[in-house]
Amino acid sequence: MIISILLFIFCNGFGYITSGQYISKDALLKIKRTHKPKNLSEDQIKLLLNHLNYSLFLQDLKNILIPRVSGTEGNKKVTSYILRRLKDDIGMKTENYTHCQLVPVLHKDRYVMFHGRNDIKNSVVDNTNGERIGAEICFNNLASETNPDALRSLVLACHHDSKYRLEEYKYKQYQKAQKFRAHESEFESDNFDSDQRFTQEPQFLGATDSAIPCAIMINLAQALSSPIRCNSKNREDKISLQMLFFDGEEAFDIWSPDDSLYGSRHMANLYQKQFIPLGERESNGKINMLERIGLFVLLDLIGEKSTRFYDFFPSTNKNFQHLVNIENRLHSYQLLSPSNTLPLRYFTNSNLRSHGVEDDHIPFLEKGVKILHLISYPFPHSWHKFDDDGTNADFDTILDITKILAVFIAEYLNLRVDTSTMAC
């Protein structure tokens, strides 16, 4: 009788797992902190990587690599495409979190300086002088995951919007405007449409920034869907693969805390208020969606031959070293491209702790989430330039990085990889 009472106190008073129905918050957080990935064998890795579909990757990239500024039809088209691929084709639970807010579409004089006319729809007028200074934009953030009932998650994230205006083009157009104004009398109005002088801007596509990371994530979801589906575990042992596609990473005017990271700021605040129960009864307690995240991996500026990653955060050094280890193993198995040789590895053994880059991880980092920031550093030469259109992409590099990430995810999730699970 005494033993039974003690067992009851231990199991319930201290949050011990009982029949897979309840685990205390402290116990769950400890499991999350002490989580260790299990290495796959060479044969298992080869079996896993055979399920990466390069043709589907190219198809996904083609559909995402279009102008997709937040609030535009191109953005809605890309959002719908990613949603269909993840939800309908792959079978992940996927939701579109839409929110609308005012953004600065070039403040007053800057707007007139660079564009010459007020052509932004749904604009807000400054009552002082009547100049249009902003617009209400609706952002679409996609959240997709494999195991919604799991108490822990591994997050992969990127942004799917493209930049609104490029500084290099604005400056050139400003120079043209100055020249035009200096010689305006020389132009005949019948032969020169002044309303068109600022509207011949070429389209920015943003391949590394961040169409390629989006396509990589979809490819990973496709390749890992079968083993994840087949690896049934107790709820407390399950780890959901969660994918977040943020809308509104880019600034509309000048990068600032208020004009950037629209989607990730919204989702971090939302996740802080969203809770999931730890057991069948509400009295068992709950955790919010941020506390559920064991690791948040952000992909950005990936795809050129110069892609190199550095270790930015001490708290995720072990995770970064795991990536270094995976790259070394794949290289030794001759599963990476011939160009993957020392010292030209993608994951370096160096850290850049003082070189933190502002990106979509910031709102989550500020709320205590562990971050692994996989952004190419230094930035690609095509960063925020019109030639970031895919022509500079190195597909050996892209495929290598996709392979490394596939193994990283499978090992982090402790997936069982064999012929039966890969065909599930």
The packing angle between helices 395-412 and 212-230, to 10°, is 30
pLDDT (tens digit per residue) in 255-301: 889 899 999 999 999 999 999 988 765 556 899 999 999 999 999 99
The alpha carbon of 175 is separated from its chain's Cα centroid by a whole number of angstroms, namely: 36
In a domain, 222, yes or no: yes
Q: What is the pLDDT of residue 282?
A: 55
**In the predicted model, is pLDDT for residue 176 greater than 70?**
no
Residues 390-402: what's their mean pLDDT? 96
Which tokens go with 69?
């500024």
Of 236, 300, 359, 388, which residue is the catalytic one? 300
Establish whether 88 is a catalytic residue: no
CB atoms within 10 A of CB 145: 21
In a domain, 3, yes or no: no
Cβ-contact 77, 85 below 8 angstroms:
no
Rounded CA separation 115/358 (Å):
28
Phi/psi for 316 (5° steps) reads -120, 25
Longest dimension (CA), the chain: 103
pLDDT (tens digit per residue) in 186-226: 434 343 333 333 344 568 899 999 999 999 999 999 999 99
In a domain, 56, yes or no: yes
User: Model pTM?
Assistant: 0.85
In the chain, the number of structural domains is 1
In a domain, 220, yes or no: yes
* CATH code of the domain in which 372 resides: 3.40.630.10
In a domain, 380, yes or no: yes
Of 209, 247, 249, 253, which residue is the catalytic one? 249
| Structural domain for 149, as ranges | 25-98+139-166+203-422
Establish whether 300 is a catalytic residue: yes
Which are the contacts of 88, defined by CB distance < 8 A and separation ≥ 6? none
Which of helix, strand or coil describes residue 184?
helix
Of the candidates 148, 368, 156, the residue with the CA atom closest to the CA atom of residue 277: 148
Q: Give the lowest-confidence range in 126-135, 186-195, 405-414.
A: 186-195
Phi/psi for 140 (5° steps) reads -120, 110
Residue-averaged pLDDT of the chain: 83
In a domain, 415, yes or no: yes
How many helices (H) and strands (E) would you count in the chain?
13, 11
Which are the contacts of 243, defined by CB distance < 8 A and separation ≥ 6? 86, 92, 142, 143, 144, 145, 155, 156, 157, 217, 221
Cβ-contact 324, 318 below 8 angstroms:
no
In a domain, 194, yes or no: no
222 residue type, one letter: Q
Which tokens go with 14?
């201290």
In a domain, 110, yes or no: no
